[in-house]
Amino acid sequence: MSDPLASLDADPALAAVVLEIESHTAEGGWDQPARLYALVSTADLARREPDLAAAMGLDAASAAGSMTPIEQEQLPTGQMLEEALLGIVWPDGVVGCAAVVERLVLPPGVDHDVPEDPQEAARFAREHPDRQEVRIVAGVTRGGSAYSALRMRAHDDAASVVGGPDLVPSLTRLLRATLHTEDQMESTEDEA
């Protein structure tokens, strides 16, 4: 399989931290709850928290241009990640964010068969014979970069992880919205 970091459009620091999160999550196996991470500048973290940086083995060279993921508290039971993201706004010190979620993916061409009711649609997906289970790790930065890594349960090895900047646009759009206050989003819309 191709190197997930090879995409020319990818922000290398973001791609590296997304793949780090994916690898860490994979160590825990499947059927995990959704996770949310704040991404902070490793250099800023090392400057503000020198003891923590030393404990993590970070020096000035390793900190330059990289990001450190900080896992957030687990989502409330029963709350979907997408719902939780609608109510989150990150503080300025957060340079990006990432999310991990497992989903069922259906093959192309069955969209017209999926029921309208969300509970029926979920049942339909769980019972479909051609469904695939996938773990998605998506990350975005305030600078506008996005990167995602996908691992299918049927091909559960690091060499089969697929990565790229635009693999899950709906999730990256939700993540981007958490990095902007309403005032910032309105001024961006006014500029467009």
Report pLDDT digits (tens) over 12-69.
999 999 999 999 999 999 999 999 999 999 888 888 888 877 787 766 556 667 899 9
Give 148's contacts (C-beta < 8 A, 6+ positions apart): 18, 136, 137, 138, 139, 163, 164, 165, 166, 167, 168, 171, 172
- Higher-pLDDT residue of 172 and 108 is 172
In this predicted structure, what is the pLDDT of residue 88?
92
Alpha helices in the chain (DSSP H): 12-27, 42-48, 50-55, 60-63, 81-85, 118-127, 169-177, 182-191
Q: Given this model, what pLDDT does residue 47 score?
A: 84
What pLDDT is attached to residue 181?
A: 62
pLDDT at 77: 80
pLDDT confidence of residue 191: 46
pLDDT over 80 at 138, yes or no: yes
Question: How far, in Å, CA of 134 to CA of 124, rounded?
Answer: 16
pLDDT value, residue 189: 45
Tell me, what's the pLDDT at 61?
56
pLDDT tens per residue across span 63-110: 667 899 999 998 888 788 989 999 999 999 999 999 999 998 887 888
Please give the pLDDT value at position 31: 93
Question: Residue 186: which pLDDT band, with cuts at 50, 70 and 90?
Answer: very low
76: CB partners within 8 A, 6+ apart: 84
Kindly report the backbone phi and psi dihedral angles of residue 46, in degrees, each rounded to the nearest multiple of 5, phi listed first: -65, -35
* Dist. CA 149–CA 66, nearest whole Å: 18
